[in-house]
Structure 1
Amino acid sequence: MLSALVHPPTLCSPSGSPPNPLSKNIVTRASMATASARSSARIAIVGDVHDQWNLEEDTKALELLQPDLVLFTGDFGEENVELVQSVAELGFAKAVILGNHDAWHTKQFSGKKKDAVQLQLECLGEEHVGYRRLDFPVVKLSVVGGRPFSCGGKQLFRQKLLSARYGVQDMDGSAKRICKAALGAPEDHLVILLAHNGPTGLGSNLDDICGKDWVYGGGDHGDPETGKICGPLVVFGHMHKQLADGNGLRKMIVVGADNTIYLNGAIVPRLRD
Structure 2
Amino acid sequence: MKISLGQEHIGYRRLDFPILKLSVVGGRPFSCGGGRIFRKRLLSARYGIQDMDGSASRIYHTAQGAPEDHLVILLAHNGPTGLGSELNDICGKDWVFGGGDHGDPDLAQAISQLKETTKLCIPLVVFGHMHKELAYGNGLRKMIVVGPDNTIYLNGAIVPRVKGLVNEQNATMVDNETQLPSSESGGSTRAFTMIEILNRRVDKIAETWVSVVGDKTTLQEEHILFQRSD
- TM above 0.5, yes or no, is yes
For residue 159 of structure 1, the aligned residue among 40, 45, 49 is 40
Residue 135 of structure 2 corresponds to residue 244 of structure 1: yes
SS in 1 for 2:153: strand
Q: State the alpha-carbon separation in 2 of the partners of residues 244 and 140 from structure 1.
A: 40
Q: State the alpha-carbon separation in 2 of the partners of residues 164 and 248 from structure 1.
A: 40
What is the one-letter code of the residue matched to 1:206? L
For residue 91 of structure 2, the aligned residue among 210, 214, 218 is 210
Where do 1:6-17 residues align within 5 Å?
none
Aligned-residue Cα RMSD (Å) equals 1.7
SS in 2 for 1:225: helix
What is the one-letter code of the residue matched to 2:64? L
Q: State the alpha-carbon separation in 2 of the partners of residues 137 and 267 from structure 1.
A: 31
Residue 145 of structure 2 corresponds to residue 234 of structure 1: no
Cα distance, 1:184 vs structure 2: 1.8
For residue 173 of structure 1, the aligned residue among 54, 73, 97 is 54
Unpaired segments of 5 or more residues in structure 1?
1-40, 42-67, 70-92, 96-123
What is the one-letter code of the residue matched to 2:87? L
Q: State the alpha-carbon separation in 1 of the partners of residues 68 and 41 from structure 2.
A: 35
Structure number having the greater strand percentage: 2
Q: State the alpha-carbon separation in 2 of the partners of residues 247 and 147 from structure 1.
A: 29
What is the one-letter code of the residue matched to 2:130? M
SS in 2 for 1:245: helix
Where do 1:83-98 residues align within 5 Å?
93-94=4-5
For residue 193 of structure 1, the aligned residue among 74, 95, 104 is 74
Cα distance, 1:269 vs structure 2: 3.6
Aligned to 2:190: none
Runs of 4+ aligned residues of structure 1 deviating over 2 Å after TM superposition are 269-273
% identical equivalent positions = 77
SS in 1 for 2:41: helix
Bigger relative contact order (CA 8 A; separation at least 6): 1
TM-score norm. by structure 1 comes to 0.54
The answer on whether the counterparts of 1:162 and 1:169 sit within 8 Å (CA) in structure 2 is: yes
Larger radius of gyration: 2
Residue 149 of structure 2 corresponds to residue 258 of structure 1: yes
Cα distance, 1:180 vs structure 2: 1.1
Structure number having the greater helix percentage: 1
Note the alpha carbon deviations across 1:26-75, whole angstroms, 9 max, x for none: xxxxxxxxxxxxxxx5xxxxxxxxxxxxxxxxxxxxxxxxxx12xxxxxx
Aligned to 2:158: 267
Q: State the alpha-carbon separation in 2 of the partners of residues 152 and 210 from structure 1.
A: 8
